[in-house]
Amino acid sequence: MARSSLVAYTWTETMQMLEPIGIDRWPYELALKYSIRDALTCSVGQRWLVAYWSRQVLNKVLTQPLRFLLIAAAGFAALRLEQVIGEDPRRIGDRPPVTPRELAVLRLVSLGRGTYEIAKLLGIGEETVRSHLKKVQAKLGVRNRTHAAAEAVRQQLIP
């Protein structure tokens, strides 16, 4: 991805570049589980990442002019989003670095799921779920899983 910061890569192309250095494939496998075959991701201003999801593998159908058009649309979308939400640092960038997997666990906790059920849904072990919860509790400065879910909702980390 260091080839050019202005070029958007499909998810398939990105994984082909990152797989040799051992980057985790679980987000890609999760998308495949839900029939999402590929996505075009565009970083905008090193602050936003806009993704176009598709059920087909995009690197076979996206021409260079179409990629540039999608990058322009992503830039417009990011600028519009900044106009809507403003520069509130609690909403952008200054959040604790909560990982996507920790957010997935928090979402399920907020829906009232237990540790066993979360482990089954995410395809991980129960101890791994507990580990994610302990880490996110420390990052958010809360005492228990319920408080973590409530704080994540308050900070708009999860819906």
pLDDT, tens only, 122-154: 889 999 999 999 999 988 889 999 999 998 888
Q: Are residues 108 and 133 in the same domain?
A: yes
Q: Are residues 76 and 139 in the same domain?
A: no
Q: Are residues 39 and 105 in the same domain?
A: no
Letter for the amino acid at 100?
P
Residue 53 and residue 158: Cα distance in Å, rounded?
Answer: 20
Using the predicted structure, report yes or no on whether residue 7 has a pLDDT greater than 60.
no
Structural domain contains residue 95:
no
User: Could you tell me the CATH number of the domain that includes residue 132?
Assistant: 1.10.10.10
End of a domain among 24, 56, 85? 85
Q: Write out the residue range of the structural domain in which residue 22 sits.
A: 9-85
Domains of the chain: total: 2
Tell me whether strands 48-54 and 9-10 are parallel, antiparallel or unpaired: unpaired
Q: Which two tokens stand for residue 142?
A: 């809360």
Residue 21 and residue 18: Cα distance in Å, rounded?
Answer: 6
Mean pLDDT of 82-98: 60
Structural domain contains residue 92:
no
pTM for this prediction: 0.43
Cβ partners under 8 Å of residue 19, min gap 6: 25
